[in-house]
Amino acid sequence: MTALVSATGLTKHFAVRGGSFLRRHTTALRAVDGVDLQIRSGETLGLVGESGCGKSTLGRLLIRLIEPTGGRIDFDGHEITGLSTKAMRQHRRAMQIIFQDPYGALNPRMSVEDIIMEPLLIHGARADAATRAKVAEALRLVGLPARAAQRFPHEFSGGQRQRVGIARALVLNPKFVVCDEPVSALDVSVQAQIVNLLQDLQKELGLTFLFIAHDLSVVKHISDRVAVMYLGKVVEVAEKHAIYSAPQHPYTQALIAAVPVLRPQDRARGRRVRIAGDIPSALNPPSGCRFHTRCPHVMPICRVQEPALTEPAPAHHVACHLVNPV
Ligand SMILES: Nc1ncnc2c1ncn2[C@@H]1O[C@H](COP(=O)(O)OP(=O)(O)OP(=O)(O)O)[C@@H](O)[C@H]1O
Ligand code: SF4
Ligand SMILES: [Mg+2]
């Protein structure tokens, strides 16, 4: 299958002010730091990793909601990095995002109809009967009654608001949708409904999803392939069943397996820890392999040489010196 979205050496460094009051300086926070990733047409690629590892930043970069510091993005056969705002317009409607927070993402003063219509108006439509019909169709797609159009966000539950957020993202007929933790803020009881809705919509409309989530069981349910991020890097990408049943990277193993990474001192005491230590700062990431400060298999080379993302098995990419010895 061909790639709809492709990132090559994609990088986002945020300038962060630091230092003391008298010695202020700016440091680069390396939120996304040289990511190569392909998202195939029609698939759901799950994106997992600890909080702060750069998942949302990567998702926003791919649809150029934020500008990269370096690297290249190709969308639907065109390089979109560096395109002017005007040149981006024709691609923009094809790439949309669904946010985590259905409360914060919707303007409380706008009716549901106006919320869903807004992207159409931004893209040059008039607020006429044909445009209203598109809004009604979007409401139908997400399982909301036509009368919901005249209501306001506060009149809805969290799950219903997320349906409005999905309708807003889909009304432009996108090809690619970044779903950034779309169910994390919802009650567990409604999470499955929204996940199932997204799956149905994907099939019906032939969408391509980047599905970002903390919850590995949700990612397992919805994804075709899964990418694992650690501190601004993609460390493993493979088919879902390969990631869950035969993870190659020690970080993925720690994330996926109920069996956590064992530190030698804990192993001696028979104690199990989830993943040893805290995630290091993206302001000053560890040298070599960024996971070396927490990896139970760390070797001398890991501290000095960054492992490249290689393909030890077909369609299974891993960045680790254990898997690909130098
Ligand atoms: N606008 C910004 N300015 C400065 N730093 C930022 C900005 N946005 C994100 N960051 C930093 O970039 C890093 C990656 O953030 P990001 O939100 O992409 O992580 P995440 O994996 O989505 O985390 P979470 O799981 O908590 O949503 C973090 O260290 C974060 O603090
Ligand atoms: S490269 Fe070394 S430190 Fe990094 S995950 Fe592999 S074994 Fe661990
Ligand atoms: Mg995030």
Kind and range of the H or E run holding 239: strand 233-239
What's the token pair of residue 134? 């598109």
Q: Is 53 in the pocket of ligand 1 (CB under 6 A)?
A: yes
pTM value? Answer: 0.93
Handedness of CA 170, 40, 34, 323 (dihedral sign): positive
* Pocket lining for ligand 2, CB < 6 angstroms: 249-250, 289, 291-292, 295, 297-299, 302, 307, 320-322
Please state the domain extents for the chain. Answer: 233-318
Q: What are phi and psi of 78, to 5 degrees?
A: -125, 140
Residue nearest to atom 30 of ligand 1 (CA): 52
Buried b / exposed e along 250-260 (16+ C-beta atoms within 10 A)? bbbbbbbeeeb
% of the chain exceeding 70 in pLDDT: 93
- Give the list of residues 6+ apart from residue 201 with CB closer than 8 angstroms, or none: 141, 142, 166, 170, 207
- Model confidence band, residue 279 (pLDDT cutoffs 50, 70, 90): confident
Closest ligand 1 atom to residue 15 Cα is 4
Summarize pLDDT for 189-207 with one digit per residue, the tens: 899 999 999 999 999 999 9
Q: Facing residues of 48 across strands?
A: 228
Scan for tokens 């088919």, then name that residue.
239
Residues whose beta carbons lie less than 5 angstroms from ion ligand 3: 55-56
Residue nearest to atom 1 of ligand 2 (CA): 320
Summarize pLDDT for 30-54 with one digit per residue, the tens: 999 999 999 999 999 999 999 999 9
Query: In a mutational test of the pocket of ligand 2, which residue from 263, 279, 287, 322 has the highest number of ligand atoms less than 8 Å from its CB?
Result: 322
